Amino acid sequence: MADSVQLRINGRMIAVPGGTVLAAAIAAAGVTQFRRSVSGQPRTPVCGMGVCMECRVTINGQAQRRSCQTLCEPGMEVQTDE
């Protein structure tokens, strides 16, 4: 397993093993809502493969990125809809 990677999720620094998918890191950080649906419901990843769009978060200021299709990178700034 590659070295650990540090990134910030909703303002909190966390470290995950290299090769971790961002969606997994967000879940491991204890986040229970990735995005809020148009009627305000909490949503979390469903398909794990880039199709359903339920895992969208803001990465380094870029909104609507699919966290299930993104690998964690050192220093990433991630914001969920919490």
Partner 1 sequence: MNSRAHEFEIVIVGAGPAGLAAACAAAENGKRVAVLDDTPWLGGQIWRGEQAQPAQPGAQKWIERFRRSGATLIDQTSVIASPRPGVLTAEHPSGGREIRFQKLILATGARELLLPFPGWMLPGVVAAGGLQVLAKHGWPVAGKKVVVAGTGPLLLAVADGLKKYGAHVVSTAEQAPLARVAGFGLKLLLAHPGKILQGLGIKSRLLGVPQRFGVWPVRAEGDRQVRSVTLTDGQKTWTEDCDLLACGFNLVPNVELPLALSCELCDGFVRVDKWQATSVENIYCAGEPTGIGGVDCALAEGRIAGLAAAGRKDEARQLFAGRARWHRFRAAMAETFALRPEVKTLAADDTIFCRCEDATFGRVKQFSNWRDAKLQTRCGMGACQGRTCGAAARVVLGFGMESVRPPVLPARILSLLTISSDSTTIAETKITGTNQTL
Ligand X SMILES: Cc1cc2nc3c(=O)[nH]c(=O)nc-3n(C[C@H](O)[C@H](O)[C@H](O)COP(=O)(O)OP(=O)(O)OC[C@H]3O[C@@H](n4cnc5c(N)ncnc54)[C@H](O)[C@@H]3O)c2cc1C
Residue 15 binds ligand FES, judged by CB under 6 A:
no
How far apart are CB 70 and ligand FES at their closest, in Å?
9
How far apart are CB 46 and ligand X at their closest, in Å?
11
Binding partner 1 (rule: CB under 8 A), the pick from 8, 10, 33, 79 is 33
Sheet holding 77-79, edge to edge: 12-17, 4-9, 77-79, 56-59, 62-66
Contact 27, 44 (CB under 8 A): yes
Binding ligand X (rule: CB under 6 A), the pick from 17, 49, 71, 74 is 49
Instruction: Determine the Cα angle at 73 with ends 68 and 75, to 5°.
Output: 125
Residue 63 binds partner 1, judged by CB under 8 A:
yes
